[in-house]
Amino acid sequence: MSTGTVAVILAAGKGTRMKSSRAKALFPLCGKPLIHYPIRAARQTGIDRVVLVVGHQAEMVMAAAEGEGVSFAVQEPQLGTGHALLCAEDALRGFTGTVFVHCVDVPLLPAELLAEMLETHRREGNAVTVLTTVLPDAGKYGRIIRGEDGRVLRITEARDATPEERLIREINAGSYCFEAPLVFELLHQITPDNDQKEYYLTDVLALANARGARVGAVIAADPGQVEGINDRAQLAEMEARLRAQICRRHLLNGVSIIDPATTYIEDDVVIGQDTVIHPSTMLHGATRIGEGCVVGPFSQLFDMTLEDGTAVISSYVERSVLRSGAKVGPYSRLRAGCDIGPGSVIGNYSELKNTRVGTNSHVHHVGYLGDTTVGDGVNIGAGTITCNYDGARKHPTVIGHDAFIGSGNLIVAPVTIGEHARVVKDREMPEEK
């Protein structure tokens, strides 16, 4: 028998209003699938055990959660939120303690609010604690029904509410703390006696009260923190809010972002102080940018590492490394596997793939280097191409330290060019004295 706190994330739904063949849980938000955000909030609160309830496109959702350290329960068919939690009963067999339940489509719930819920739940000795908020217009949301003493009695779905209940502005935010095993005993008692013919998780509150168990609530002061995503318009709005939060975080940490409205930075990106991000720049994945760098305008970085003092100007770069003081662009591309040495420059309209460039070397305009190793102090002129592919296999090129490669050369791999060598067209050769 185990005790403590377990998080159960409900992620089985199709998300019909997304108008997509893709499960809602898989939609990306600032570079991460929606399932990432509630899992992260649980981890940040100190909840180590997370159960993800999957259903629609279960295998794809489980694959997307790979590496998150979660276990899974399958809801098939999908018969409502109460049925979803009941499907996690086997996964929690023998567990005694608090079960935190959260929906996958509410991604901005902060860990601090979750911690407040758990603390209130334990301090008050509640069997159930529901997260609520107050809206000017409660609309389609479930209403919190309280007694004269302010105690939470039940939740009534909007479609099932009376005209008087529809006037209530406190609504169910869709997150709960339950005590187990009591919650599973109560889940077995609920019935689909409602307009949707579904098993409502909200019915547990009335059943808990009928058993004499204590039901409490925590009110979220900011409704935006508990807002859900039902369609692509709401997803886009949530993306804009999260982007603004991410930019603000970097601004307060000493990064200059010239135009946050046109800057896209994913949540895992790290940026050092005194770096300048110019407009229309996109920073993706596990990108790491050092101090005093310049990025943009119109640059895209994917899983990049930029050491201090580097620059990526109007270029597309991915899964590569720029060493201290290196510069790329404008209008260049680094494909995966490149390592650009300290002080080296990759000029405009150049493309590199799986190429290592040494210290203080220059790769000038309109060229291509693939599977190439370039030494220190090398000059590679405009229009130089390493022909690395013979139609069946890739071959390497090695260019030694302080070599000079003139303009317009086609270097057919495999080939090694030695240190201090000079490769030029006939017209570039100096006349013999």
**Distance in angstroms (rounded) separating the CA atoms of residues 428 and 407:** 9
Contacts of 286 (CB under 8 A, 6+ apart): 268, 269, 303
Pairing of strands 143-146, 152-156: antiparallel
Show the DSSP H helices in 229-383 as ranges.
232-252
- Residues paired with 210 in a beta bridge: none
| CA–CA distance, 157 with 141 (Å, rounded to integer) | 7
Residues 6+ apart with CB under 8 A from 196: 80, 157, 159
φ and ψ at 357, to 5 degrees? -115, 130
Buried b (16+ CB within 10 A) or exposed e, 200-216: bbbbbbbbbbeeebbbb
**Quick one: CA torsion of 238, 243, 244, 246, rounded to 10 degrees?**
130
Catalytic status, residue 365: yes
Contact 293, 313 (CB under 8 A): no
Please give the helix or strand (H or E) that residue 81 lies within, else none: helix 81-86
Q: Which of 365, 395, 401, 420 is catalytic?
A: 365
- What's the token pair of residue 300? 């895209």
Tell me the CA distances in angstroms from 350 to 111, 372, 412, one per residue in order: 45, 14, 18
Burial of 229 (0-12, 13-18, 19+ CB in 10 A): buried
What is the CB neighbour count within 10 angstroms for residue 60? 15
Catalytic residues: 365
